[in-house]
Structure 1
Amino acid sequence: MKCTESLFRKLAVAPLLLCILLSGSAFAKDKPHPAEAFYQKGLQLSQELDWTSATEEFQKAVALKPDHKLAHANLGVALSQLGHHKLALLAFEKALALGYDTAALRYNRGASFARLNLLAEAETEYKAALKLNPRLVRADYELGVIYLLQNRRDEVLEQVKILYRRNRKLAQQLHSQAPPGYKIMSISDGGTLKGQVKMIGETPRVRAFNLIHSPNIEFCTRMSDGKGHRLLRDYVVSNEGGLQDTVVAIRAVPKGKPFASQMQTFHIARCHSDKYAIGIRNGEDLLVENTDPINHEIATYEFAGKNITQLAYKTVLPHSTQIRDAFVREDVEEFTIKCNLHPFLQTHGFIVDNPYYAVTDKDGRFSIENIPPGTYEVVAWHTYSPTQKATITISSNSESSVEFTFDAKEVRRKLYQDDIKGYRFNTMYDSPVTYQGDVRVDDPIEILQDFSEAEERYLSDSGPGLIRAVPAPGSEIVE
């Protein structure tokens, strides 16, 4: 409640004063009324945040001219800033009776009602403000706070959706205060879900990024295929068909174990992330660790079908850390964090609503423990393949299993330049500085990313559990 009151205190004055200051003098065409001097003085003192003196001036103005509606309105603002909300409401009511009805005045009336814990009246005023000005985002936010104080979670989340389109910062602030749908409690008879994710068909090709475009070519080429490319394997498939880096998540578990207490990390080393895929809550913080001696321009994105929106973009300095958030639109399932200078540096996140999820290992296997008994939907998600779904039943203190199979023919990656034919170029230069004029930083270790066209081919006719086909010398691989 203290946080809410602080926010009311910050916001209550701005909209109304702005509106009135733009209105000018109420007596511009005639000889100024003696009340006008007190009114203008009150406005000046309000801008200086001298609310006590401003109150006195507005009171003098309305004493001389009781029908001065703007003076009554601003008197209400000044009184509310002094914490005299009952008196403020009387002043606002007088302004309304005189015909002054604006979105800003309704907003300020709502703020005073809220501070008096008259939540129903505050709700009415905020809705009236939004009817007069649908783009008054502060009123949308405060209306969400009213719903929050009344434990109306669904309405709070609806306000978050509205704010997300207009003011993401306020949407995030309201979302962070909303009670979670998932409840934490101890589970004494939980079960376990184990299984494997497989891929059938020809393993999707590795992506190759031409390092000649890198702004830090002298550093980035220390990890390459030796021919001027950084390789990124979106699909890592074992010889038995197990698919790595797939998020398996159980949907709509209402209660159970807590989320991990330690913040997840986006660890950067040699322009490479240590995690390709993660599960992450909407609004969860993520620690960015840059161990490289170069800058990274780290951006975050939300993916809603074909719509991709960049959420944030900020430089991460060498050997430094930052905290980013994964706050996305309510209907979004995918969150990506990547470097806009080095596009091969990326991690893909699947938005989860509970801690019952896992990321598959190198064999495509996973295990999720301490699951409350019940029947659930479970999904297997990979950023470039259609999501797979299944229904499972978890019994008390028992183990269940499930398998998912992805088809390589359904991979939906965008087109990338992946021509890995080329010549190895010298990664050392005579110049001691980069093209940007900075001192060149060379990684003392060079890592060659091995790539064999033959070894990447994967038979597609035998189903899961197939073996890579290595052609005999001289045989041709059909593209």
Structure 2
Amino acid sequence: MRYCVSTMLAILIGTVSPAWCYEVIAVSDGGTLTGTVRLEGQIPKPKGYNLTTLPDPYYCGRISDGQGWRLLQPFNIGPSGKFLDGVVYREEVKKGKPFEDDGVPQIEAKDCLFLPFTTVVRDNKPVTVVNMDPVMHDIQAYETSHLGARVLFNVPLPMNPQHPRSFRDRGDAALDHKHKAGAPKKELVMLSKDRRVFVMQCGFHAYMESWGLAVSNPYFAKTDEQGRFTITDVPPGTYKLVVWHPYIRTVNEQSVTVGPKGTMEEDFAFLAPTGLLYVNEALEHDYMQYSVTEEQKKEIEPMVHIQ
């Protein structure tokens, strides 16, 4: 079996790249690539968003700092610098094992978060987005690279009609909410030439974002709670192994050699990026351009957890 991107498709999406194929073959003597990914240095500060200037502060404020702010930490780091949400993949693979399934990756809007924060997708394949919250969300997806951004899709994400509609009464959904799936939205991920990363944000709640990496072969893995990854059924040979995370801007790759039915341990360590990584970095004090009153702070209660 071959998974191909045809020349005709390249023409339809405005590129002139030649056709390429990934060929599925029987891998009888495949090996295993495993290892860990670790971040060294100080974890960067999160992003900060003033809830009083954004919709649905009563519900979305159930996750907040108790001072009227919602934080988004792009760097999910465990004990000893274990790096979660990274993607490890083999580059430039022409043939090998089949994809485990042709299922559609799913991203959920839950407690005003897009989960998971990073997703592995396939170019010219769909992704499903589901709203589990009792508030409206709007998904805006862009492909991104050093060449700039381009809109992939922009559609409303409806909520389940069984959800309550009012959040000013502190006894309603903000306190007793049960997550209920709304109508799923299945959208096509069709990237331009030389682009393989897309970002999805909510048009109503700026702190909701999720990143996707498009792969052309099944030799990839996301790092788990221990910062570990495992890639199986790797045909013997020498390959380029790459680690990706949307906020690590440097190229992180290593050459690895896998023997027949062997296991190769490969560890990655990154220096934490420094300096101002985003314009809305959370500060030690309240942003002076906003006036968050004490009464507003009392209304925005972090009932799910305090950040």
Task: Give the shorter-chain TM-score range.
Answer: 0.7 to 0.9
Question: Counterpart of 2:298?
Answer: 426
Is the aligned partner of 1:347 residue 2:198?
no
Post-superposition shift, 1:310?
Answer: 2.0
Which structure dedicates a bigger proportion of its chain to strand? 2
| Matched letter for residue 228 of structure 1 | G
What is the alpha-carbon distance in structure 2 between the residues aligned to residue 180 and residue 382 of structure 1?
25
Structure 2, unmatched stretches of 5+, are 160-181, 287-293
CA gap 1:202/1:292 in 2 versus in 1, 3 angstroms? same
Give CA deviations for 1:395-447 in whole Å, capped at 9, x if unaligned: 1111001122211236783322423635671337xxxxxxxxxxxxxx9x921
1:229 touches 1:420 (CA, 8 Å); kept in 2? Answer: no
Structure 1, unmatched stretches of 5+, are 1-152, 166-170, 429-442, 451-479
Question: Counterpart of 2:228?
Answer: 365
Equivalent residue runs for 1:36-55 within 5 Å: none
Post-superposition shift, 1:201?
Answer: 1.6
Please give the root-mean-square deviation of Cα atoms over the aligned residues, in Å. 2.6
Question: Counterpart of 1:221?
Answer: 61
Equivalent residue runs for 1:161-240 within 5 Å: 161-165=10-14, 181-240=21-80
1:358 touches 1:368 (CA, 8 Å); kept in 2? Answer: yes
Question: Counterpart of 2:263?
Answer: 399
What is the alpha-carbon distance in structure 1 between the residues aligned to residue 97 and residue 54 of structure 2?
44
1:164 touches 1:329 (CA, 8 Å); kept in 2? Answer: yes
Equivalent residue runs for 1:17-36 within 5 Å: none
What is the alpha-carbon distance in structure 2 between the residues aligned to residue 355 and residue 410 of structure 1?
33
Q: For residue 328 of structure 1, give the secondary structure of its aligned residue in structure 2.
A: coil
Equivalent residue runs for 1:288-307 within 5 Å: 288-305=129-146, 307=148
Is the aligned partner of 1:375 residue 2:238?
yes
Equivalent residue runs for 1:294-333 within 5 Å: 294-305=135-146, 307-318=148-159, 319-333=182-196
What is the alpha-carbon distance in structure 1 between the residues aligned to residue 105 and residue 122 of structure 2?
11
Which structure dedicates a bigger proportion of its chain to helix? 1
Post-superposition shift, 1:377?
Answer: 0.7
Q: For residue 409 of structure 1, give the secondary structure of its aligned residue in structure 2.
A: coil
CA gap 1:411/1:376 in 2 versus in 1, 3 angstroms? farther
What is the alpha-carbon distance in structure 2 between the residues aligned to residue 412 and residue 335 of structure 1?
22
Question: Which has the larger Rg?
Answer: 1
Question: Counterpart of 1:477?
Answer: none
Question: Counterpart of 2:162?
Answer: none
Post-superposition shift, 1:235?
Answer: 0.9
| Matched letter for residue 409 of structure 1 | P
Q: For residue 218 of structure 1, give the secondary structure of its aligned residue in structure 2.
A: helix
Aligned partner (choices 116, 119, 131) of residue 275 of structure 1? 116
| Matched letter for residue 404 of structure 1 | F
Q: For residue 426 of structure 1, give the secondary structure of its aligned residue in structure 2.
A: helix
Is the aligned partner of 1:265 residue 2:106?
yes
Percentage of matched positions with identical amino acids: 28
What is the alpha-carbon distance in structure 2 between the residues aligned to residue 375 and residue 181 of structure 1?
20
1:372 touches 1:394 (CA, 8 Å); kept in 2? Answer: yes
What is the alpha-carbon distance in structure 2 between the residues aligned to residue 316 and residue 279 of structure 1?
21
Scaled by the length of structure 1, what TM-score is found? Answer: 0.53
Scaled by the length of structure 2, what TM-score is found? Answer: 0.80
More displaced, 238-247 or 415-424?
415-424
